[in-house]
Amino acid sequence: MQQLGVIGGMSWESTASYYRLLNQGVRERAGGLHSAPLLMHSLDFAQVAALQSSGDWKAAGALLADSAQRLEQAGATGLLLATNTMHKVAPVIEAAVSIPLLHIGDAVGLALQNAGIKRAALLGTRFTMLEDFYRLRLAERFDIDVRIPSEEQIGEIDRVIFAELCRGVFTDESRAFYLACLEDMRAQGCEVGILGCTEIGLLLEGVEAPLPLYDSTELHVQMGLDWMLAGD
């Protein structure tokens, strides 16, 4: 198996899911006592969140590029960035290393394309929903019409992510709100919902939703497993 580097900590709640799912996936695919050969660099999310809030994406990109270089130097031969939002600086990371970055947008886009999906609702941080680095990639590479909630809903979705989900808080009230947003998007013709924040899957795990859900974390993990086991 190829050794995968994971840039994590954004937040550690979702990074823990990556670690668990990658190891479970290797065990299921390879059998026996096999587990995932991983290198992980977990960042202090408070620092990253402050850079996001201030709009200092240059410094955020430099921080993650340094993390990627550390993992490459330690022996990683491929990278997973365990967050949706910070794929905004994916080009900076890719330019800093000579190993591939497995892009979360491509994991989501391929799954939607293979399922014949043409219109999808996107839930994530306000950066992921409002800026074009994610939506445009899905549109241009996979011909997916990505729709986002109303301005008021975007504000509350984002608040819940940072004030609750990233702190390990999962409430019935927030769960009901997210499901209501998905119902509104279903009424607008969306075929599926993209959980475009790695913590949202933790909130909606096991819940019956108005739309079929595509969890970006799970799809990204599957891409990582395919890459690690490609030569096996």
CA distances (Å), 9 to each of 77, 87, 120, 166, 232, in order?
A: 20, 14, 28, 10, 29
Same domain, 95 and 113: no
Give me the residues of the chain with pLDDT under 70, please.
Answer: 231-232
What is the percent of the chain where pLDDT is above 70?
Answer: 99
Q: Does residue 116 share a domain with residue 209?
A: yes
E-state strands within 29-148: 38-42, 78-81, 101-102, 119-123, 145-147
Instruction: Report d(CA 206, CA 140) in Å as an integer.
Output: 32
The crossing angle, in degrees rounded to 10, of helices 216-228 and 104-114 is 100
What are 77-92's pLDDT values in tens digits? 999 999 999 999 999 9
Q: Is 41 helix (H, G, I), strand (E, B) or coil?
A: strand
Together in a domain, 126 and 94: no
Residues with active-site annotation: 83, 197
* Overall number of domains in the chain: 2
Same structural domain, 121 and 193: yes
| Domain identity same for 94 and 113 | no
**Shared-domain flag, residues 114 and 180:** yes
From residue 100, alpha-carbon distances to 5, 39, 170, 222 in Å are 10, 15, 34, 16
Query: What's phi and psi for 210, nearest 5 deg?
Result: -65, -20
Q: Give Cα 17 distance to the centre of its chain.
A: 11
CATH number of the domain encompassing residue 68: 3.40.50.1860
Return the pLDDT at 50: 96
* Residue 187 and residue 110 share a domain: yes
Q: Check whether residue 139 and residue 64 sit in a common domain.
A: no
Shared domain check, 69 and 123: no
207 and 111 within one domain: yes
201 CB-near residues (< 8 Å, 6+ apart):
14, 17, 195, 213, 215, 216, 217, 218
Per the structure, the complete domain to which residue 98 belongs is given by: 4-103+219-230
Supply 3's token pair.
């050794």
The predicted-structure confidence for 131-181, as pLDDT tens digits, reads as follows 999 999 999 999 999 999 999 999 999 999 999 999 999 999 999 999 999
What was the pLDDT predicted at 231?
62
**Residue found by looking up tokens 């990683």 in the block:** 76
Same structural domain for residues 71 and 158? no
